[in-house]
A = this chain, B = another copy of it.
Amino acid sequence: MNAELIAVGTELLLGEISNTDGQYISQKLAGLGINVFYHTVVGDNPARLEAVLRDAAKRSDIVITTGGLGPTYDDLTKELICRVFGKKLVLHEESLRRIEGFFADRGRPMTENNIKQAYLPEGCEVFSNDWGTAPGCAFKAENCVVAMLPGPPRECRPMTDLRLVPYLASLSDGVIYSDSVRICGMGESAVEALLRPIMENAVNPTVAPYCKLGEVELRVTAKAGSEAEAKALTAPVVEEIKSALGDVVYGVNVDSLEQAVVAGLRDAGLKLATAESCTGGLVSKRITDVSGSSEVFLGGVVSYANSVKQNVLGVKAETLASVGAVSAGTAEQMARGVCALTGADVGVSLTGIAGPGGGTEEKPVGLVYMGLCRGDKVTVTELRIGSRGRTRDDIRSQAATTALKAVLDEIRK
């Protein structure tokens, strides 16, 4: 089965927003073993949208649209899909009541044009929208399956997970289940080299790698008659991967490294604090992205100026004078200092040169020292992130990721 995604909206063509819906749905379809062959973005223009829909109907088994389900006259997706696939729009009473309730809840009047959103293709499966007004829907046409989702990502994402994916899975003659193995501290090519025997022989489950800066995700996906059978297929492969890669695997089916850090600290009953120079608060920002992080994260000091390193964290003036702010000594004293200041069990520090300016031959852009304090002991690691093709952002992100992974390794010891 191959699928095509069509995003409808002039704002996409003006570059005001990126088609993140396309990316999100593609990931989920990959998880279902459905190949996506095309993404198309088209504006709120009836002739062009109709032509795109007709092409899609000819070439794809599954056509999924996002956007164009709003209440205004230029929201045309449903109307044109009905024209292309010979369907009639009929009022869906339940959706109308839901939309009325949505407005009543908010004490706002429902305008006439919102009624339009409750009209849906005759005989379709309705995707109730608990995150906005426009319902989605899906139906089987002659040669393909058609599904429509609202465009705003905060509606599209839960609608994808809780409506579209179960609908598409129900069309398949079995269950598809994925485990996600999260890796930090080893590059994609090294991961692939180590896992080649596993990956090459993988048919059911399949093993597919995804990369982001400083991290690799492996998706182990099996198809079987039931979820239990599918899990029985993925579990041994996940174990095989974990033992092949060792400690660089930081979690299975966890959302993010910061989530793993927060969960790890909670399990260990430990409190964390951060002392950041070059990352300027990025590590603490990422930890506090996790709701509930206040249970384990005390806080941190962004010691950008040397005076703050000295006066707040207690870095010695002689260290700053002799070896400088970007040094093992400073990193060590920052980590120790933030633990002393906050009473944290674990303290992590970063000081380095994020660039693009400020590098020297001896201390190039991308040189970062990381300190990790646990009780009396501080370990300092020199990171050479490198500046070739790396932006300031990349260097800061990579340093923060490395620090989060180091905290996780420490608390799991």
Contacts and interface: CB of A to CB of B under 8 A. Distances in A.
A292 interface: yes
A304 B299 contact: yes
A103 interface: no
Size bin of chain A's contact surface: 35 or more
A27 interface: yes
Interface stretch (A33-41, A170-178, A189-197, A230-238): A33-41
A13 interface: yes
Interface string A359-391: 000000000000000000000000000001101
A226 interface: no
A396 B284 CA distance: 13
Interface stretch (A69-77, A111-119, A141-149, A305-313): A305-313
A26 to B, nearest CB: 3
Contacts of A52: 38
Nearest to A313: B299
A210 to B, nearest CB: 5
A228 interface: no
Q: Chain A interface secondary structure, helix, strand, loop or mixed?
A: mixed
Nearest to A300: B302
A256 interface: no
A95 interface: no
A342 B313 CA distance: 11
A342 B311 CA distance: 8
Given A18-B22, A289-B393, A307 B312 contact: no
Contact of A291 (B210, B298, B357): B357
Interface string A14-47: 1111111011111111100001111111110100
Interface stretch (A84-92, A241-249, A275-283, A401-409): A275-283
Interface of A: 12-20, 22-30, 35-43, 45, 48, 52, 55, 106, 131-132, 154, 208, 210-211, 271, 273-274, 276, 278-285, 287-289, 291-294, 297-305, 307-308, 311-312, 341-343, 354-357, 388-389, 391-393, 396
Nearest to A14: B30
Contact of A42 (B16, B38, B294): B38
B18 A20 contact: yes
Contacts of A343: 307
A305 B342 contact: yes
A281 B289 contact: no
How many copies of this protein are present in the complex?
A: 2
Nearest to A355: B291
Nearest to A217: B16
Given A15-B30, A291-B356, A301-B302, 6 more contacts: A13-B38, A281-B284, A281-B302, A298-B305, A299-B303, A299-B305
Given A19-B22, A37-B13, A299-B301, A280 B291 contact: no
Nearest to A25: B15
Contacts of A28: 15
Contacts of A36: 13-15
A280 to B, nearest CB: 3
A285 B282 contact: yes
Given A302-B302, A312-B342, A18 B19 contact: yes
A38 B48 CA distance: 9
Contact of A38 (B40, B210, B273): B40
In this complex, the member of A208, A341, A342, A355 whose beta carbon has the largest number of chain B beta carbons within 10 angstroms is: A342
Contacts of A24: 15
Contacts of A132: 389
A305 B293 CA distance: 10
A312 B273 CA distance: 13
A40 B7 CA distance: 10
Given A19-B39, A22-B18, A106 B388 contact: yes
Nearest to A282: B285
A308 B29 CA distance: 45
A341 B312 contact: yes
